[in-house]
């Protein structure tokens, strides 16, 4: 995805204060409901590195005199939410518990209560835990509630490196195995922890402990101070037996020493980043090799200042410095000032459901959990209450799902809308309510959401024609309502309330508010959004892929569930009936007034949408309809999404709530691809993986190719995009590290997701483990890292920002061990570790894959030789190289296809000349001299309005200061008022001219500096292109010579004209050099003309500004004379003259001082207006 050019990460690991490390006493309420329920006394603390909440239980089991302490470590990364006070729900039994004595505290006890939402899932289920603690004071409860939430949602904690994961495991091992009474770690407990109840590896652990010179007998003990992380890391190295790291170490170690020298490490780092997204940092990291040696070698037993040992080298390989993704990508690094339509927005479908669409339970808890993932578009299906018609409720209409009070959900939205991200939240309303319930809805929205609710367009972005949508930054902390909106001329709409008595069990193709009138044209022939037929009853539902393989997406992109049905005999047949969807009611004025930038409208055609050009209007489509539109109107749909928002939701037959592949619709620019968050299947894992970047703020910037209005990009076609090169990605899975893992990682699956052009092949590769020692799986030969045999090859990835790779590791019986997803544009080349995550995209175990990634610019035919010197370099958009590859002609010569039957010597020469001709045009047309930005200088019109407005403010303040200074002299009898005022205006004029000169002199210096900088840049470009020309001509000559020698063997006779062709090549080089020199001179001349033009423009503007202010001051002087005479005559003092006595002058001065005490203009006798301060409009005068 697109991003700002440079960004310094602000992410930091948790820093735990001593107060939280020491801990606090509390009570824990039992999670099981076994009677009798009694609170458990515990001590809570946080480990020093901020990985775990340590809960130490106090339980007497063996005898009254012996206390056995049980310890539970709560992973902070799995704490989804913390609540206290009014947000907690106290178990009924706790209120009357004599140990807690809460019944004596009335409502105050809730402030001492802390509730954690915890688990490997955020969906309320058996894996979702609600843990209650009670503290002795409200202040302690509030402090721990706040800090635990902040620690748990730390972005680095949720995106650890492999080395951090080992530190995390070590921390848990120490706290869970420690005998606190004797302050020792029993070896038996340590072995049990590392083996994870696997008897087959216990002997290996004992041998590794012995190799580390540690106690290894099961009855032995070890002091915590002896089992530091350094000792644990050496134990890890022995258990893993990483031969592939030893091989890599030897390959890099040219001097065959026991350490890598600084030069060895420099070469390795350079090669690692040769083709990565960090090419601009390559030099900096090369120079930092010595610092890296010190950073990772300082804790090694064999530390040496001269280089990096095997142990420290492995630490480096496992660290953030060498991770598969630059950690900066997890920070907020994207530009958030573009229109909303230029972002992918994390979106949810039927947010209230915890399970299937038919039998799932509705809960307001799902809104909390979904919002805490950073989701920025949630859905509310609102219906009239069966008991009270004016009370709205949330439920899946026409299903047995029990409703949730609407007011409870809005209260949750109020509390959680901006708890993890401040960017705008969209509420997608499916409105089935009557007028009275809608009035109640609107009142609840306004009363509960308050200032967070956007009820008026921003002054900078009106809801008008040709006005773009505001940016996420402009809408921070704002909630937008997506609901039907009344036409402006309609006063009192009639609600089309559905007949509740006629509700029947029918299928719904969607729960989206716009599936009928809002998005579907009443003229099917004109609408590319024309719906297909859907099932009429439960027996008509054909459940496709009801038991999908959990580790991958098995979508048939050409099959629609809505196009088939299942009859009573289980046979599949075509649907012929028309869809029967639950109708929505019309909007009332109260709800209509709350809809601003997300207005669902009846979609007619793309031509009409382009003509209307209202960015605030949007449409919603089911996945099937969106697929149909893409097949027939891909380019139009892409253009629509550049300007307006679109929302894609699952088809109605997905009753099991399984999701579709979101990469079917992101490449077309659809912003809101709404998924069922209650099912953590592979599509949901991909969604969570993508939106984990950019600080998990819920917004991901689209690539430029999807946002440029005149772009020729077509996602349906496997064709290179203008100015952007394609990539070949080759991946070798070498090994996998699985500490404390009781499930054998048999299979590694690698899937590529992306544009339709990338889906011409099924990019799905499976690698099986060759060896498993209980801790490490080997997938490739660890002693032959140089082998060109890759586990997966992905060729011609057309738009790397819109392609993603997912790694998933499964056992032999297809149990998910771990997975990871990342966009291809974030993938770094070289030897890297991939930290595996759970279904929620959080790393919870020390599980990783060691891979080698090769990134190459995709080239065909003759381009391969041209690309060879720079094939691994990261391209820059609009670079000459990109232009060259995109503009290559398919009929260009390829000598490899020649044969003796169809090629003569003269034809060979002719083809060689064609090659030279092509090369000449390539150099000239691809030259940087063709880029206007290289010889354009900022003009006066490029000055920011804020800078120019500041000049006016400075002049205003300076004049005010001058006026105040002279006003103090207004009471002096010896001064004449008009003479004094003349002095004031002269001082104003002088100060104003000085400020104007200062401002324009500064701009003149800026223009001059830019001129010299551009001039130096032109010289640098000429030297670079001349040097590259010489090199390329020589490479071309050698290539032609080699091919001619091959052709001589094929033709069985020498090919003539070799010297003649060599001379022509030299001539072509001379012609090209002459052309480049001419282009340089022309660019230089253009630069000089632009420079002189801008200087003249600045001088003209300077003079114009001065003239304007001087004329204004002269007018002020004339107005002041008339005004003073007028006021003096009104007060009986007579007109101002030079013969006034001192007392008269003093009276005049008092009038002058009084009249000058305000900045506001006032009327003169002749109707003119006098203004004591210059208020000239400087920007557009």
pLDDT tens digits, residue range 531-556?
A: 333 333 332 333 333 333 344 454 43
Q: Which of 504-508, 963-967, 1141-1145, 1152-1156 has the lowest mean pLDDT?
A: 504-508
Q: pLDDT at position 500, please?
A: 34
Q: CA-CA distances (angstroms) from residue 687 to 464, 693, 999?
A: 33, 11, 51
Q: Which two tokens stand for residue 797?
A: 């990835």
pLDDT digits (tens, 9 = 90+) for 44-60: 999 999 999 999 997 75
Please indicate, yes or no, whether residues 769 and 837 belong to a single structural domain of this protein.
yes
381 is in an annotated binding site: yes
Please indicate, yes or no, whether residues 204 and 144 belong to a single structural domain of this protein.
no
**Is 1148 annotated in the active site?**
no
Please indicate, yes or no, whether residues 635 and 753 belong to a single structural domain of this protein.
no
pLDDT digits (tens, 9 = 90+) for 386-404: 887 788 999 988 788 889 9
pLDDT digits (tens, 9 = 90+) for 481-539: 999 998 863 334 344 433 433 333 333 334 444 443 333 333 333 333 333 333 333 32
Q: Which range is most confident: 559-563, 602-606, 717-721, 1019-1023?
A: 1019-1023
350 is in an annotated binding site: yes
Mean pLDDT computed over 820-832 = 95
Cα gap 601→704, rounded to integer Å = 27
Query: Which run of H or E residues covers position 173?
Result: helix 162-177
Q: Which two tokens stand for residue 29?
A: 């309420």
Which residue did the predictor score with more confidence, 1045 or 778? 778
> For 663, what's the count of Cα atoms within 13 Å in the CB-facing half-sphere?
30
911 pLDDT above the threshold of 50: no
Q: pLDDT at position 303, please?
A: 53
Q: What CATH number is given to the structural domain containing 798?
A: 2.60.40.150
Please indicate, yes or no, whether residues 406 and 308 belong to a single structural domain of this protein.
no
CB 513 within 8 A of CB 620: yes
Whether residue 925 is contained in a domain is answered as no
Q: CB neighbours (10 Å) of residue 317?
A: 24
CB 202 within 8 A of CB 216: no
Nearest 5°: the CA angle 278, 887, 871 is: 30
User: If you average pLDDT over every residue of the chain, what do you get?
Assistant: 77
Q: pLDDT at position 1122, please?
A: 74
Question: What is the share, in percent, of the chain residues with pLDDT greater than 70?
Answer: 69
CB 133 within 8 A of CB 27: yes
- 760: exposed, middle or buried (C-beta count within 10 Å: 0-12, 13-18, 19+)? exposed
Please indicate, yes or no, whether residues 149 and 189 belong to a single structural domain of this protein.
no
Mean pLDDT computed over 119-138 = 91
Mean pLDDT computed over 1124-1153 = 50
Question: What is the share, in percent, of the chain residues with pLDDT greater than 90?
Answer: 42
Cα gap 333→835, rounded to integer Å = 22
CA dihedral 677, 680, 682, 687 (to 10 degrees): 40
Q: pLDDT at position 69, please?
A: 78
Of the candidates 324, 308, 305, the one whose C-alpha atom is nearest the C-alpha of residue 316 is: 308
Q: pLDDT at position 1160, please?
A: 44
Whether residue 87 is contained in a domain is answered as yes
1082 is in an annotated binding site: no
**Is 126 annotated in the active site?**
no
Mean pLDDT computed over 102-131 = 82
701 is in an annotated binding site: no
Whether residue 328 is contained in a domain is answered as no
Cα gap 68→59, rounded to integer Å = 6
Whole-model pTM: value is: 0.69
pLDDT digits (tens, 9 = 90+) for 423-455: 999 999 999 999 999 999 999 999 999 999 999
Q: Which two tokens stand for residue 1029?
A: 């020309």
Q: pLDDT at position 978, please?
A: 65
Among residues 216, 259, 342, 349, the one annotated as catalytic is: 349
Please indicate, yes or no, whether residues 226 and 143 belong to a single structural domain of this protein.
no
**Boundary (domain end) residue, out of 1114, 1145, 1163:** 1114
Please indicate, yes or no, whether residues 1009 and 1073 belong to a single structural domain of this protein.
yes
Q: pLDDT at position 720, please?
A: 72
3-state DSSP assignment of residue 341: helix
Cα gap 639→713, rounded to integer Å = 10
Q: pLDDT at position 247, please?
A: 95
Relative to beta strand 404-405, strand 392-394 is: antiparallel
In the beta sheet, which residues pair with residue 809?
748, 818
Q: Which of 139-148, 273-282, 956-965, 1118-1127 has the lowest mean pLDDT?
A: 273-282
Please indicate, yes or no, whether residues 233 and 260 belong to a single structural domain of this protein.
no
- 477: exposed, middle or buried (C-beta count within 10 Å: 0-12, 13-18, 19+)? middle
Q: pLDDT at position 964, please?
A: 64
What proportions of the chain, in percent to the nearest 5, are helix, strand and coil?
Answer: 40, 15, 40
Q: pLDDT at position 448, please?
A: 97
In the beta sheet, which residues pair with residue 699?
345
Please indicate, yes or no, whether residues 528 and 670 belong to a single structural domain of this protein.
yes
Q: pLDDT at position 968, please?
A: 53
Please indicate, yes or no, whether residues 615 and 566 belong to a single structural domain of this protein.
yes
What DSSP letter does each residue of 996-1007 carry, written as one string?
HHHHHHHHHHHH
**Total of domains in the chain:** 6
Q: Given CA atoms 30, 35, 41, 42 in this order, what sign does their dihedral have? A: negative
Query: Which run of H or E residues covers position 284?
Result: helix 282-287
CB within 8 Å of 301: residues ≥ 6 apart: 230, 234, 311
Q: pLDDT at position 1107, please?
A: 84
Whether residue 1023 is contained in a domain is answered as yes
Q: pLDDT at position 351, please?
A: 94
Cα gap 661→688, rounded to integer Å = 13
Query: Which run of H or E residues covers position 763?
Result: none
Mean pLDDT computed over 297-316 = 75
Mean pLDDT computed over 767-774 = 94
CB 910 within 8 A of CB 872: no
Whether residue 1055 is contained in a domain is answered as yes
Please indicate, yes or no, whether residues 318 and 358 belong to a single structural domain of this protein.
no
Q: pLDDT at position 1153, please?
A: 45
Whether residue 332 is contained in a domain is answered as no
In the beta sheet, which residues pair with residue 26?
42
Of the candidates 855, 862, 818, the one whose C-alpha atom is nearest the C-alpha of residue 838 is: 818
Please indicate, yes or no, whether residues 213 and 266 belong to a single structural domain of this protein.
no
68 pLDDT above the threshold of 70: no
**Boundary (domain end) residue, out of 1114, 1141, 1168:** 1114
CB 131 within 8 A of CB 118: yes
Mean pLDDT computed over 36-40 = 83
Q: What CATH number is given to the structural domain containing 84?
A: 2.30.29.240
Q: Which domain holds residue 88?
A: 18-157
Relative to beta strand 343-345, strand 699-701 is: antiparallel
Which residue did the predictor score with more confidence, 1056 or 270? 270
**Boundary (domain end) residue, out of 1114, 1138, 1163:** 1114
Among residues 396, 461, 826, 833, the one annotated as catalytic is: 396
At 167, the pLDDT band (50, 70, 90 cuts) reads very high
Q: CB neighbours (10 Å) of residue 32?
A: 6
Whether residue 1178 is contained in a domain is answered as no
pLDDT digits (tens, 9 = 90+) for 607-664: 888 888 999 999 999 999 998 888 888 888 999 999 999 999 998 888 888 999 999 9
pLDDT digits (tens, 9 = 90+) for 237-281: 999 999 999 999 999 988 888 888 888 888 888 888 764 444 555
Q: CB neighbours (10 Å) of residue 416?
A: 18
Tell me if the bond preceding 36 is cis, omega within 30° of 0: yes
Q: CB neighbours (10 Å) of residue 207?
A: 13
CB within 8 Å of 754: residues ≥ 6 apart: 663, 667, 797, 798, 799, 802, 803, 804, 824
Nearest 5°: the CA angle 1067, 1073, 1079 is: 140
CB 411 within 8 A of CB 449: no
Q: pLDDT at position 22, please?
A: 96
Whether residue 900 is contained in a domain is answered as no
């Amino acid at each position: 995805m697109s991003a700002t050019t440079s960004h310094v990460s602000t992410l930091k690991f948790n820093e735990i204060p001593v107060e939280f490390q020491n801990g606090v006493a509390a009570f824990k309420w039992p999670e099981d409901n076994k009677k009798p329920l009694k609170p458990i006394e515990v001590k809570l603390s946080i480990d020093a590195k901020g990985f775990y909440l340590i809960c130490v239980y106090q339980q007497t089991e063996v005898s009254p005199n012996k206390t056995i302490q049980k310890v539970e470590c709560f992973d902070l990364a799995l704490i989804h939410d913390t609540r206290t006070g009014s947000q907690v729900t106290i178990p009924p039994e706790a209120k009357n518990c004599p140990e807690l004595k809460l019944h004596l505290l009335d409502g105050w006890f809730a402030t001492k209560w802390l509730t954690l939402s915890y688990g490997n899932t955020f969906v309320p289920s058996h894996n979702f835990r609600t843990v209650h603690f009670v503290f002795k004071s409200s202040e302690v409860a509030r402090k721990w509630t706040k800090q635990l939430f902040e620690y748990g949602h730390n972005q680095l904690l949720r995106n650890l490196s492999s080395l951090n994961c080992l530190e995390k495991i070590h921390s848990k091992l120490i706290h869970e195995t420690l005998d606190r009474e004797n302050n020792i770690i029993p070896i038996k407990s340590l072995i049990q922890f590392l083996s994870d109840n696997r008897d087959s590896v216990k002997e290996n652990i004992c041998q590794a402990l012995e190799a580390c010179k540690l106690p290894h007998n099961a009855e032995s003990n070890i002091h915590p101070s002896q089992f530091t992380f350094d000792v644990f890391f050496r134990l890890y190295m022995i258990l893993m037996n990483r031969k592939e790291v030893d091989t890599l170490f030897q390959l890099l170690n040219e001097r065959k020493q026991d350490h890598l020298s600084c030069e060895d490490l420099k070469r390795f780092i350079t090669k690692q980043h040769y083709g990565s997204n960090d090419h601009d940092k390559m030099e900096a990291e090369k120079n930092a090799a010595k610092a890296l040696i010190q950073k990772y070698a300082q804790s090694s037993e064999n530390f040496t200042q001269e280089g990096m040992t095997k142990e420290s080298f492995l630490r480096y390989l496992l660290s953030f410095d060498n991770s598969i993704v630059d950690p900066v990508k997890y920070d907020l690094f994207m530009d958030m000032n573009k229109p909303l339509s230029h972002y992918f927005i994390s979106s949810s479908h039927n947010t209230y459901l915890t399970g299937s669409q038919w039998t799932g339970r509705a809960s307001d808890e799902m809104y909390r959990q979904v919002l805490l993932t950073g989701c920025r578009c949630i859905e509310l299906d609102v219906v009239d209450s069966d008991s009270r018609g004016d009370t709205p409720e949330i439920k899946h209409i026409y299903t047995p799902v029990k409703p949730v009070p609407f007011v409870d959900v809005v209260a949750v939205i109020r509390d959680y809308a901006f708890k993890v991200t401040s960017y705008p939240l969209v509420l997608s309303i499916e409105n089935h309510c009557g007028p009275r319930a809608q009035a109640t809805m609107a009142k609840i929205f306004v009363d509960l959401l308050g200032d967070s609710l956007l009820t008026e367009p921003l002054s900078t972005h009106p809801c008008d024609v040709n006005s773009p949508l505001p940016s996420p930054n402009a809408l921070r902390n704002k909630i937008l309502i997506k609901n039907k909106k009344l036409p402006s001329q309609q006063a009192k709409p009639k609600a089309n309330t559905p007949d509740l008595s006629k509700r029947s069990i029918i299928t719904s193709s969607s729960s989206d508010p716009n599936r009928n009138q809002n998005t579907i044209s009443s003229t099917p022939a004109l609408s590319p959004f024309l719906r297909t037929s859907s099932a009429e009853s439960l027996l008509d539902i054909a459940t496709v892929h009801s038991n999908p393989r959990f580790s991958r997406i098995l979508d048939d992109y050409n099959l629609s569930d809505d196009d088939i049905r299942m009859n009573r005999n289980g046979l599949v047949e075509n649907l012929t009936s028309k869809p029967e969807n639950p109708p929505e009611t019309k909007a009332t004025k109260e709800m209509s007034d709350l809809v601003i930038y997300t207005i669902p409208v009846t979609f007619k055609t793309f031509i009409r949408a382009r003509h209307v050009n209202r960015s605030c209007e949007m449409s919603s489509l089911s996945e099937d309809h969106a697929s149909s539109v893409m097949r027939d109107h891909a380019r139009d749909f892409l253009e629509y999404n550049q300007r307006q928002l679109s929302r894609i939701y699952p088809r109605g037959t997905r009753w099991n709530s399984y999701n579709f592949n979101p990469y079917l619709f992101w490449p077309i620019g659809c912003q809101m691809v709404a998924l069922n968050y209650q099912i953590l299947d592979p599509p949901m894992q991909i969604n969570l993986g993508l939106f984990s970047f950019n600080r998990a703020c819920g917004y991901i910037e689209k690539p430029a190719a999807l946002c440029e209005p005149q772009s020729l990009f077509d996602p349906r076609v496997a064709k290179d995009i203008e100015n952007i090169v394609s990539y070949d990605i080759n991946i070798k899975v070498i090994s996998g590290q699985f500490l404390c893992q009781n499930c054998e990682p048999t299979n590694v699956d690698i899937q590529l997701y992306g544009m339709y052009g990338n889906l011409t092949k099924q990019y799905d590769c499976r690698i099986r483990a060759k060896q498993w020692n209980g801790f490490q799986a080997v997938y490739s030969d660890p002693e032959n890292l140089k082998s060109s045999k890759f586990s997966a090859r992905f060729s011609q990835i057309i738009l790397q920002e819109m392609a993603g790779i997912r790694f998933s590791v499964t056992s032999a019986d297809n149990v998910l061990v771990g997975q990871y997803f990342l966009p291809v544009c974030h993938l770094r080349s070289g030897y890297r570790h991939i930290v595996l995550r759970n279904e929620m995209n959080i790393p919870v175990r020390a599980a990783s894959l060691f891979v080698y990634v090769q990134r190459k610019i995709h080239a065909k035919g003759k381009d391969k030789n041209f690309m060879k010197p720079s094939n691994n370099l990261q391209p820059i958009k609009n670079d000459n190289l990109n232009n060259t590859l995109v503009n290559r002609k398919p009929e260009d010569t390829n000598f490899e296809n020649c044969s003796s039957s169809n090629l003569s010597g003269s034809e060979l020469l002719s083809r060689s000349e064609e090659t030279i001709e092509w090369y000449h045009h390539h150099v000239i047309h691809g030259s940087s001299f063709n880029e206007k930005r290289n010889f354009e200088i900022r003009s006066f019109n490029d000055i920011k309005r804020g800078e120019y407005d500041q000049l006016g403010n400075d002049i205003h303040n300076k004049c005010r200061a001058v006026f105040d200074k002279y006003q103090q002299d207004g009471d002096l009898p010896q001064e004449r008022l008009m003479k004094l005022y003349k002095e004031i205006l002269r001082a104003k004029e002088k100060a104003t001219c000085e400020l104007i000169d200062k401002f324009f002199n500064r701009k003149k210096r800026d223009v001059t500096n830019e001129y010299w900088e551009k001039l130096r840049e032109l010289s640098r470009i000429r030297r670079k292109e001349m040097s590259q020309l010489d090199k390329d001509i020589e490479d071309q000559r050698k290539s032609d010579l080699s091919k001619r020698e091959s052709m001589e063997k094929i033709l069985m006779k020498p090919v003539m004209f070799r010297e003649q062709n060599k001379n022509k090549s030299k001539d072509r080089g001379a012609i090209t050099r002459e052309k480049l020199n001419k282009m340089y001179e022309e660019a230089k001349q253009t630069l000089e003309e632009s420079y002189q033009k801008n200087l003249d423009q600045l001088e003209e503007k300077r003079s114009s500004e001065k003239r304007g202010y001087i004329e204004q001051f002269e007018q002020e002087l004339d107005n002041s004379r008339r005004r003073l005479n007028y006021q003096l005559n009104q007060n009986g003092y007579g007109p101002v003259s030079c013969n006034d006595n001192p007392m008269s002058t003093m009276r005049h001065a008092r009038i002058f001082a009084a009249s000058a005490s305000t900045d506001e203009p006032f009327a003169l006798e002749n109707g003119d207006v006098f203004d004591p301060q210059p208020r000239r409009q400087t920007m557009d005068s």
